[in-house]
Structure 1
Amino acid sequence: MTPADAASRKAPLGGAAPCPPLPGPPWFRLGRALSKSDSAVPPARAEKPPLEQLYRQGPLLGSGGCGSVYSGTRLADGAPVAIKRVSRERISEWARLRNGALVPLELALLWMVSRPGFRGVVQLLDWFEVPEGFALVMERPQRCQDLWYFLHQRRFLTEPVARGLFRQVLEAVRHCSSRGVLHRDIKAENVLVDLATGEAKLIDFGCGTILQDTIYTRMSGTPEYSPPEWILVGCYHGQPATIWSLGILLYELVCGHLPFHTNEDIVRGQLVFPPRVSQECQHLIRWCLSMEPTHRPCLEDLFEHSWLQEPCLAQETAEMHP
C-alpha cells in the first residue's frame, strides 16, 4: 500500500454524470418498481418514539458524499449500532413507499437486501425521519475494520486470506442481485471485516440503484473502479460493471495497490503483477478486467473459477489478526 494509494481514497462520484438523467422524476420510476414487490420499505410506525429515546449517538465514524456515520448504542439492550445521518439536500434519488411517502433510495435498497439468515450485507435495523433529513440505524460489529485499513496494515493479503474474503464479497453481490439491487461502489472501503470471526460484510448503499437489464447512463461510485465503457461511451450495463469492480478489488487485495489511477490508465488496461501472485489468480483478475464487457465472466463463472475452488484453510481465520 503506497502513499499514493492512501491519497487516492476519493469520495464516491455521488451520482454525478456527464449524461443527463433519464426523463421523469427518479423517485417516481424507482418507487413504481419498488411498490410492485414485497421489498418496499414499510412506513415507520406513527407510535414509535423518536430516535433519541431508542438510541444513543456516539462519535463520528466517517463521512462522505452520501452522509455521516456515527457509532451508537441501542438503549434497550446495549447493542452497538451505526447511525447514518443523511441531510435532505444531499439525497439525489428517492423511492416512494406504499403509503406515498418519499424516502432515500439508499434506505429502500438496504431494506431490500436486509434479510434474516444472510450476514454478508450490513443489516438495516431501524430508520427515522428527522428534521434535517433521515437517520438509518444499522448493525455494527464490535471489533471490525474496513477492508482498506485491514489491507493497509498488511501491505497485501496472501492468496488464502484474499480468497476467503473475496468469496464472501461475491456471496454478498450475488445476494444483492437476487434482491434486485446494484451496489455500484464495490471497493475495499465498503467491505467491513469482523476481526473476531473473519466475517465480511458489504456496506454503504449510498451509490446503489435498482438492478436493470438495460444500460445505465448515470454513474455513481469511485473513479478508480470505473469500467472503460463508461469512460469511452458514457454508459454501461450493471453486471459487467460490477465484475470489473470485483476485478479491481481482487487485484488490490493480492498486490497491495490499485491497478489504475487515471482514466487513461483504465482505458490502457495494462496490468502488472508481482511474482508472488499465482497464475490462476492473475487469470481470474485479467478475465474480470477484460476491456470488452461481453468478454467478462458472469457472477456464477467467478464462483466456478479454479482459483476460488481451493478449499478454505484454517490459515484464513488465523491471519485475520495483524
Structure 2
Amino acid sequence: PAPLLSGSCSHLWALPCPSCADGWLLAEGQKKQLQELYQLGPQLGSGGFGTVFSGTRLSDGSPVAIKRVARESVLQWDELPDGTRVPMEVVLMEKVGSGCHYIIQLLDWFELPDSFLLVMERPEASRDLLQLLLEHEVLSEEMARWLFRQVLEAVRHCTACGVLHRDIKPQNLLVNPESGDLKLIDFGCGTFLQERPYTQFAGTHVYSPPEWIACGCYYGHSATIWSLGVLLYVMVCGNLPFCKDHDIVSGQLFFGHQVSPACEDLIRWCLAKHPADRPELEDILCHPWVRGGRF
C-alpha cells in the first residue's frame, strides 16, 4: 500500500479548482513527494460538504476517490489523542474501517491550510443508486432485496462500531450494476451513536423522522429505521413517500406502484409514526421479505 501521511503532517496540498483542474498546485519542494503517492483525475461530483475527484494510487495503480472538504463546511469536529482537531467524518470512517465489505474504506487523509483531503477506495464500475433509479424508475423487488440486505449489514456494522451515519439515501450508496455489490459512502453527516436523544439534525430533510419535525429530537436507532423505510420505498416505488413536513408527520402512506404484501408490510413497519412501533434492526433482518431468495 502507499505510505500513509499523518493528518497533522506539514505537507501543504491544494487541489485545482474544477474549472482548471490540470494538476496539483504545490510548493515546488513538495511536488515530487506527493506526486509519488497519487495522481489526480477528473472531478466526479460535488455537494454541500465537498468535492470528489477520481484518482490513482501510483504504488499499485488502484483507483481512488479524493474528497476535498473545506474547513468551513465541516459539521462536527473531534480530537485525536495527540490533540489534533480533525473532521468527525475522518474519525467515523476510521472506526468503521474494517470488517465490513459494504462500507467504503478510508485509505488516507491529509490536512491542508483551508481544507482536508480524504482518500478512499473507488469501485471502478459503480454508480450511485440514484443514477440507477433515474434510469430504471423502479427496481425489481429481487434487486431491491439484495441491495437492501447489504445496506442492513452496513448499518449493523456501523452500530457495532458506535457510529450513526444519519444520511442513508440513494446518493450515498454506490452500486455495481453487474454484480449488485453495494458500498455505503459519505459519513459527513455522521456522529457517535448515543442512547440519549439527539437535539440537532444532520442529513437530508425528506428522510428525517416525524418526531424530529414535531418535537425537535430523535433517537439514533429509530431514526435510522425510518430512513431505511424511506430508502426501501424509493427503491420499489421510484419516488419519495413524503415530500412535505405535514405529510411526514401525518404518516399517511400511499403506494403508487404495486409491491408485494410482504414488502409493503416491511415499509409500513419501518415508517410507523411512533418510534416505539418501528422494528429493531434485527427484526428487519428476520422479516420474511428480507429473507426471500436472491435475484
Q: CA deviation at 1:276?
A: 2.5
User: 1:31 matched to which residue of 2?
Assistant: none
Residue of structure 2 aligned with 1:277, choices 259, 278, 288: 259
Matches within 5 A, 1:58-207: 58-115=41-98, 117-207=99-189
User: 1:39 matched to which residue of 2?
Assistant: none
1:63-93 Cα distance to aligned partner (Å, 9 max, x none): 1121111111111121110000111122131
Cα 1:135–1:275, aligned 2, differ >3 Å: closer, same or farther?
closer
Instruction: Please identify, of 297-306 and 47-56, the stretch whose mean Cα deviation from structure 2 is larger.
Output: 47-56
Instruction: Please identify, of 266-275 and 157-166, the stretch whose mean Cα deviation from structure 2 is larger.
Output: 266-275
Q: CA deviation at 1:57?
A: 1.4
Residue of structure 2 aligned with 1:262, choices 234, 244, 263: 244
SS in structure 2 at match of 1:60: strand
Q: Which amino acid aligns with 2:60?
A: D
Q: Is the 8 A contact 1:43 1:97 kept in 2?
A: no
Instruction: Please identify, of 85-94 and 202-211, the stretch whose mean Cα deviation from structure 2 is larger.
Output: 85-94
Q: CA deviation at 1:196?
A: 3.6
Cα 1:210–1:51, aligned 2, differ >3 Å: closer, same or farther?
farther
Matches within 5 A, 1:176-255: 176-255=158-237
For 2:78 and 2:150, how far apart are their aligned partners in 1?
29
Unaligned stretches of 5+ in structure 2? 12-29
TM-score, length basis structure 2: 0.88
SS in structure 2 at match of 1:235: coil
SS in structure 1 at match of 2:36: helix
User: 1:21 matched to which residue of 2?
Assistant: none
Q: CA deviation at 1:46?
A: 5.2
Q: CA deviation at 1:247?
A: 0.1
For 1:45 and 1:221, how far apart are their aligned partners in 2?
28
For 2:78 and 2:267, how far apart are their aligned partners in 1?
35
Structure number with higher relative contact order (C-alpha < 8 Å, ≥ 6 residues apart): 1
For 1:296 and 1:174, how far apart are their aligned partners in 2?
16
For 2:120 and 2:136, how far apart are their aligned partners in 1?
28
SS in structure 2 at match of 1:134: strand
Cα 1:84–1:51, aligned 2, differ >3 Å: closer, same or farther?
farther
SS in structure 1 at match of 2:290: helix
For 1:305 and 1:226, how far apart are their aligned partners in 2?
23
Q: CA deviation at 1:119?
A: 1.1
For 1:192 and 1:220, how far apart are their aligned partners in 2?
21
Q: CA deviation at 1:275?
A: 5.6
Cα 1:247–1:110, aligned 2, differ >3 Å: closer, same or farther?
same
Cα 1:141–1:275, aligned 2, differ >3 Å: closer, same or farther?
closer
Q: CA deviation at 1:61?
A: 1.2
1:307 aligns with 2:289: yes
Unaligned stretches of 5+ in structure 1? 1-41, 314-322
Instruction: Please identify, of 193-202 and 96-105, the stretch whose mean Cα deviation from structure 2 is larger.
Output: 193-202
For 1:196 and 1:76, how far apart are their aligned partners in 2?
28
For 1:52 and 1:223, how far apart are their aligned partners in 2?
40
User: 2:36 matched to which residue of 1?
Assistant: 53
Quote the sequence identity (%): 55
Cα 1:88–1:226, aligned 2, differ >3 Å: closer, same or farther?
same
Q: CA deviation at 1:274?
A: 3.9
Cα 1:250–1:76, aligned 2, differ >3 Å: closer, same or farther?
same
Q: Which amino acid aligns with 1:77?
A: D
Aligned residues: 271
Instruction: Please identify, of 172-181 and 263-272, the stretch whose mean Cα deviation from structure 2 is larger.
Output: 263-272
Q: Which amino acid aligns with 1:66?
A: F
